[in-house]
Structure 1
Amino acid sequence: MKYMLIMRATDESFAAFADVDFDQIVETMGRFNNEMIQAGVLVAAEGLADASEGVVVDYSSETPVVTDGPYGETKELFGGFWILDVASREEAVEWAKRAPMTGPGVKAEIRRVTSIDELPQDNEWIQKERAWREATGQL
């Protein structure tokens, strides 16, 4: 099963790491990523650019409204994610407990990634997506 570990932090917890040397951050994250690679569970991992570079598309009105970042309220921001292929939610939790660069205000949200196999296979659009995934080596 695949699980996404979504790293969330507050403005304050981001600020707490502002003085940490970038090379140290890369090494710390790299060591953790390497542990997951060696264990055969890491599928993908990416950090996200600063929220001030993002936009929000709000679908509350008939015409979607686009707002430049940072987000209106920054209680918690996504900082990055890992996608793990593990046997259970509990195993994903155990990896999340070991994540580096954590502390007060930092949280990991763990969500199962649904598989295309869980969707109705007789659906035309699912069949098209399956064909695309096969053609691009994703199945």
Structure 2
Amino acid sequence: MKYMLIMRATDEGYANLGELDFDEVLREVGEYNEELIRAGVLLAAEGLADATEGVVVDFSSEPPIVTDGPYGETKELFNGFYLLNVSSREEAVEWAKRAPMTGPGFKTEIRRVPTIDEFPQDNEWIRKERAWREANGQL
């Protein structure tokens, strides 16, 4: 099963980021990534640029409204993610507990990523997506 670990920081966490030794952060993240790779569970991992570089497309009106970042409250933002292929939610939780950048001001949301097999297989768009995934080695 695929699970996404969504890395979040609270206002306190964001305030503490400037005090962190970036080389130490890179070492901790690198060691964690190596551990995930050795265990064979890492599918993807990415950090995200600061929210001030982002935009939001809001579809609550016509035409949609585009707003430059930063946007929303800190609690709504996330900094990066890991995509893991593990046997259970409990295993995803155990990996999240070992992640770097933890402690006061940091949180990790864990969400299961449904597989294409969970959707109606007779649907035209699901058949097209399955063919695309097979052609790209993703199945």
TM-score interval, smaller chain: over 0.9
Deviation, structure 1 residue 100: 1.0
**Count of residues paired in the alignment:** 139
1:50 aligns with 2:53: no
Question: Residue 100 of structure 2 corresponds to which residue in structure 1?
Answer: 100
- Cα distance in 1 for residues equivalent to 2:66 and 2:20: 33
Cα contact 2:8–2:79 (8 A) shared by 1: yes
TM-score by length of 2: 0.94
Letter aligned with residue 3 of structure 1? Y
1:122-137 counterparts in 2 under 5 A? 122-137=122-137
Deviation, structure 1 residue 13: 0.6
The percent of aligned pairs where both chains have the same amino acid is 75
Bigger mean CA deviation after superposition, 86-95 or 99-108: 99-108
1:4-63 superposed Cα distances (whole Å, 9 cap, x missing partner): 000111233122121322221111101011111111111110000001000111111132
- Cα distance in 1 for residues equivalent to 2:42 and 2:16: 27
The unaligned stretches of length 5 or more in structure 1 are none
Cα contact 2:8–2:75 (8 A) shared by 1: no
1:3 aligns with 2:9: no
1:37 aligns with 2:37: yes
